[in-house]
Structure 1
Amino acid sequence: MKTRQTAEIILKNMAKVLNLEENYFIDVAADNAPTFARFNYFPPCLRPDLVYGIRPHADGGAITILLPDKEVEGLQVLKDGQWIKVPIIPDALIVNVADQIEIMSNGELKSPMHRVITNSEKQRISVAMFYLSEMEKCLAPAPELINEIKPMLFKKMKAREYRDIFFQHLMRGENKALLPISSFFQLFKCRRLVRICLYGKSQ
């Protein structure tokens, strides 16, 4: 399948950039890993200042490949506290790194917060292909990317566990499920750290 081949090419090159074995990410996003498409239709909206096409969020899978509308912009990425428009480039695909790759790269590759805004005059159509890790595979930072300067940022867990965490946050209306261990290390005792890292707050 062409889309699967495209995803594998991207994953191989991402691994090479980090000086990892080229199949490092592919070995986790295996052939029987979940893959699905979402067709997005955004009609004209009279109040684009009040209505999102898609609310701010970060993707919970491995990568997302997006075929955007050819004419109407809408996708925005959060950078340094500012929302930046993603421009339309003819015949180009947009690739989002998602949470599972951020975990495996120990934060070297970031899963960006993004949103879709509506247009008051024009409709917008896009297609997104989501690639996830195989559910029983282990998500953990690559050992080659852990050192004294950059310690392990994320707890090891199965992809199935992270999927459940992601959807729990989604159902609560929270924008991002992925939280580094270091965010809480100075604030909570180690025996509570796992729960905080997984769920984002003390329970």
Structure 2
Amino acid sequence: MNNSESYPPILRHLSHPRHHQPDGGDPIRESEPDPLPLIDLQLLSHDMNMQKVLEDACKHWGLFRLVNHGIPSTLLTQLQHQAKQLFSLSFESKQASCNAADPVTYFWGTPALTSSGTPLTTAPQNINWFEGFNMSLPHLSQFQPQLPQLHSFRDTVVEYGEHLSRIGRRLFEAMVKKLDLNIEASSSYVAESTGIMRIYRYPKCSNSDVGLGMEVHTDSSVLSILSQENEVSGLELLKDHQWLTVKPVSNTLIVNLGDMMQAISDDKYKSVTHRVKLNNEGERISLCYFVFPDEELEINSSNYRPFTYKQFRTQVQQDIKTVGNKVGLPRFQHTPHSSHENLQK
């Protein structure tokens, strides 16, 4: 089968340039080999210097590279290999492999922050150039897919998800130590019951004008943990009004803070603005874990009126339908700031 035929039909012809809306940043900045803050998970519990690096990363970057995370490199390689096999199947078989009632859904072209699984029928200039699988980790082990490739991938993701849940808890506990917050149960803020995995495939494209792999956005999560093992770059973060490329480095993870972490920290920590550009060297596969607070846990902050993640998610979905984009945290501020709202778009 021709590789392009494995993509959804609307993504097979990358020849429709579009004009981008302002994205809040200057042209991409070529920087030193890896400017990202580096966090060693094994040192984090007892090394004061490493704890300071983490605090600075949360305040000034909202993103960092994680090493010594305890995930076997063989597992990371296996995930990429199985994901590539799964995505190489025909579009029709992937589309038929799961439905909206399953803990696994297949989606494409939808903004990163909408509910997934709804086929897109709008014009190409309104889409993001990717396809993906959304997996609800708490219910994944009970899912019995018909596709052999999805069945084996499910088993690997279940194992991977256990590692990510452990990492998320350790990172969150280390982050809040410096915030002087009265948080007794971190499991309510990084709740295992909320964990999801999204596996994305972005097509190769030599025409940079065709659009973005994923639009400019912030995540709604507490933490997002990304694996990008196949050496094809695309992820970019907005830092000091310039775009920086987050280069893939084998056996490392990229951790970024989301809106819930920014609200929990009373804006001391940063929900990072990021996007995905298409790459002309090859298609890109990434695996991202998102973790959220318990739906009914009330988040209290001096900068925001009290809200739950459930209320936040409902507001995001409503804004996407009514104004066409996520507004996010400014909706819950005591005094909204228009400049912050524009950055979140």
Q: How many residues align?
A: 176
% of aligned pairs identical? Answer: 26
Provide the residue aligned with 2:318 in structure 1.
168
Note the 1:88-107 alignment, pairs <5 A.
Answer: 88-107=248-267
Note the 1:29-44 alignment, pairs <5 A.
Answer: 29-32=190-193, 34-44=194-204
Note the 1:77-156 alignment, pairs <5 A.
Answer: 77-141=237-301, 152-156=302-306
Note the 1:11-30 alignment, pairs <5 A.
Answer: 11-20=172-181, 23=184, 25-30=186-191
Gaps spanning 5+ residues in structure 2: where? Answer: 1-161
Provide the residue aligned with 2:307 in structure 1.
157
Which residue identity does 2:328 align to in structure 1? A
- Report if aligned partners of 2:262, 2:271 keep a CA contact under 8 Å in 1: yes
- Report if aligned partners of 1:15, 1:23 keep a CA contact under 8 Å in 2: no
Deviation, 1:18, is 2.3
Secondary structure at 1:52's aligned position in 2? Answer: coil
Q: TM-score scaled by structure 2?
A: 0.47
Deviation, 1:23, is 5.0
Closer/same/farther in 2, CA of residues 114 and 23 from structure 1, 3 Å limit? farther
Q: Does 1:181 align with 2:334?
A: yes
Large movers: runs of 4+ above 4 Å: 21-25
| Larger helix percent | 2
Deviation, 1:175, is 4.7
Secondary structure at 2:197's aligned position in 1? Answer: strand
Larger Rg, first or second structure (1 or 2): 2
Which residue identity does 1:16 align to in structure 2? K
Deviation, 1:53, is 0.7
- Report if aligned partners of 1:97, 1:111 keep a CA contact under 8 Å in 2: yes
Provide the residue aligned with 1:190 in structure 2.
none
- Report if aligned partners of 1:66, 1:94 keep a CA contact under 8 Å in 2: yes
Gaps spanning 5+ residues in structure 1: where? Answer: 142-151, 186-196
Closer/same/farther in 2, CA of residues 25 and 83 from structure 1, 3 Å limit? farther
Closer/same/farther in 2, CA of residues 24 and 154 from structure 1, 3 Å limit? farther
User: What is the alpha-carbon distance in structure 1 between the residues aligned to residue 220 and residue 320 of structure 2?
Assistant: 10
- Report if aligned partners of 2:317, 2:326 keep a CA contact under 8 Å in 1: no
- Report if aligned partners of 1:12, 1:22 keep a CA contact under 8 Å in 2: no
Closer/same/farther in 2, CA of residues 44 and 66 from structure 1, 3 Å limit? same
